[in-house]
Chains A and B, each alone.
Chain A
Amino acid sequence: MSAPLSDPAAPAETRESASRERREKLWRFLSDWQAMVGLVLVVLFFASALFAPWLAPYDPNAMDIPARMSGPTWPHIAGTDQLGRDTFSRILHGGRVALYISAIGVSASLSIGLVLGMIAGYGPRWLDNLMLLMFDAVRSFPAVILALATVALTGPSLTVVLAIVILTTIPSYGRVARTATLALRHTEFILAERSLGASTPRILFQHIMPNVIGPLLILAAMEVPVVVSIEAGLSFLGIGVLPPQASWGTILNEGYLVIRDAPWMVIAGGIPLILTTLGFTFLGEALRDVFDPRMGRGR
């Protein structure tokens, strides 16, 4: 993660101790049961979402009215909904929506937060204050409230969910990037670059970014559950992913409507959500403990 710091001209001794340290970190990570459970759950999430079309026993939108609202029995292991659609297949396909939203949402808000945070940390004082004010203002909206306000104006769609996810999570990345940049700003290697006449973008992207990105990647792992929950929550309210597309939120929404007659829908729809959240939380915390023990206290 700190590759640009390892200078090829460094003495062989330092290089060797650095690689030993890396091996030790890897070993510590591999011997932590939380990290392993997290890793397995995360791999399961990716695999089930990517291969959903091949894994799902039924078409997620195929209706089978005679078999509607049948309980969790073979061949419908998680039961069927009010239209006779197979809940298990819908859950697998719903994972694709969660994966799509978290992949795009997390990478977009990480990149934007990184750039804004570096500018805030490296730029003049007034710009820093303005950025902090913006971060605070955005954070003053509880996510669901902001989503409701937006949907009132634009109508529900996947794009709105993405926009809300990106907007509400930018400040956390921005703040971390800003703090890390502030700490680097007056270090000798940055001053040296500056006196050699390097341009500001070059300093930011060539020298500061590689040193700031590590904590941000760990934060990203911890933010995935947040993003997945926002998507599921908004879809549950009917202001996110629209029916008939399957998402964990829409399954819970449809299940909530028939909760008295078909309780298995809200049970089955919730389990993948919990497993995903748990997996990324375990993984993120284990990564943080290994790479950046100091970060643990702040959050």
Chain B
Amino acid sequence: MFTYLLKRLGLAALVVMAVLLLLFSMLHMIPGNPAILALGTRASPEAIAEYSARMHLDKPVLTQFVYFLGNAVQGDLGQDVFSNRAVTSVIGERIGFSLALICTGMGWAVLLGVPLGCLAAVRPGSWLDRVTGVFSVGMIAVPSFLVSIWALLLFSLELRWLPAIGAGEPGDLADQLSHLVLPAFAIGLGWVGYLARMVRASMLEVMGEPYIRSARAFGLKPRRVVLGYALRVAILPTITLIGMGFGGLISSAVFAEIIFARPGVGKMIFDAVSDRNFPIVQGGVLVATGFYILVVLISDLLIAWLDPRVRSSL
């Protein structure tokens, strides 16, 4: 387990480095002076020189990368171009909204999708199985941003059940929760389908194994066989899927934040793109990507901990 942990951490570090390099070279691949790009063509030469010095744009590219890397490691992602505040503190203010959204979205999808998949697998061919099958493909087929728009239209504009925009009054938990419902519904809906299908497929595979037959032959209660024996093994591929799928969930969350005007990191990056506020874009992209890499890492380690066969494969 320890060697696996070391190897996997090393791999994650390499991926982070590659991502940083990619991000950095993207900034330098565009023709033109980054200072003029950031400040606009009408900026005075002094402002451009000042900006270049502040962002180390006057140094060689390799030196710039080292600066960039050093600062990023120390948790310094630069300053907001307009307010001059540290990018990290701007992100710190907003990341809670994004995390709450992502966790709620994934949470309700797991709570609904996994039992649905189990029930469908226990009785293959039943009406529940067929309904689940058709519904899950349907849910997967609708792009999440469309679910967001349609949910906004139906539940807040037509039926007026839930608020349409914002994240709720600070300090008022009930209000904040009611603002969380629609975006979390929208980003989780496709996942209910994904998870139900995935759990169903791997459950069916596991339920055919000899040890399940033995457990049954010993007279264990069906409930115990399904939950205690089959699901424990069948859930493994699902954990990997959840880890890998977080990238898609982050993308969905960006859309949901923009559509419901929720002040999270995704909305922040989007607004910064329109304002050409590069340090914010860069910092936000770095945080979102880092979060994704972390989630995949955690899911891989979790799998290795649960399933000894995986440890030897790396």
Contact = CB atoms under 8 A, between A and B. Distances in A.
Interface of A: 133-134, 136-146, 148-154, 225, 229, 232-233, 236-237, 239, 252, 255-256, 259-260, 263, 266-267, 270, 273-274, 277-278, 281-282, 296-297
A200 to B, nearest CB: 27
Interface stretch (B110-118, B121-129, B178-186, B288-296): B288-296
B270 A148 contact: yes
B145 A236 contact: yes
B145 A141 contact: no
B202 A274 contact: no
A140 B292 contact: yes
A260 B19 contact: no
Contact of A151 (B11, B141, B150, B273): B273
Contacts of B278: 152
B158 to A, nearest CB: 8
Contact of B247 (A134, A142, A260): A142
Contacts of A150: 26
Interface string B13-24: 011001100110
A145 B285 contact: yes
Nearest to B291: A142
A233 B19 contact: no
B92 interface: no
A133 B15 contact: yes
Nearest to B259: A256
Interface residues of B, number: 53
A145 B250 contact: yes
A146 B292 CA distance: 13
A255 B149 CA distance: 10
A152 to B, nearest CB: 4
Contacts of B37: 153
Contacts, number: 134
Contact of A139 (B146, B157, B247, B254): B247
B10 to A, nearest CB: 11
A142 B255 contact: no
Contacts of B158: 263
B257 to A, nearest CB: 11
Contacts of A267: 150, 153
A233 B143 contact: yes
Interface in B282-314: 282, 284-285, 288-289, 292-293, 296
Nearest to A270: B146
Nearest to A143: B251
Contacts of B276: 152
B157 A259 contact: yes
Given A140-B292, A229-B143, 15 more contacts: A137-B18, A141-B292, A142-B250, A142-B292, A143-B247, A148-B269, A150-B26, A152-B273, A152-B278, A154-B30, A233-B251, A259-B152, A259-B153, A296-B201, A297-B202
Contacts of A255: 149
A142 B248 contact: yes
B293 A140 contact: yes
A297 B149 contact: no
Contact of B142 (A252, A256, A274): A274
Contacts of A229: 143
Contacts of B250: 142, 144-145
A144 B254 CA distance: 8
Interface in B254-282: 254-255, 258-259, 266, 269-270, 272-273, 276, 278, 281-282
A259 B153 CA distance: 7
Contact of B149 (A136, A270, A274, A277): A270
B205 A232 contact: no
A259 B149 contact: yes
Contacts of A136: 11, 15, 18
Question: Top 8 A-B pairs ranked by shortest CB distance?
Answer: A137-B18, A144-B251, A229-B143, A142-B250, A278-B141, A277-B141, A142-B247, A142-B251
Contacts of B273: 148, 151-152, 239
Contact of B30 (A134, A153, A259, A273): A153
Contacts of B9: none
A240 to B, nearest CB: 12
A221 to B, nearest CB: 14
B47 interface: no
Interface in B229-259: 237, 247-248, 250-251, 254-255, 258-259
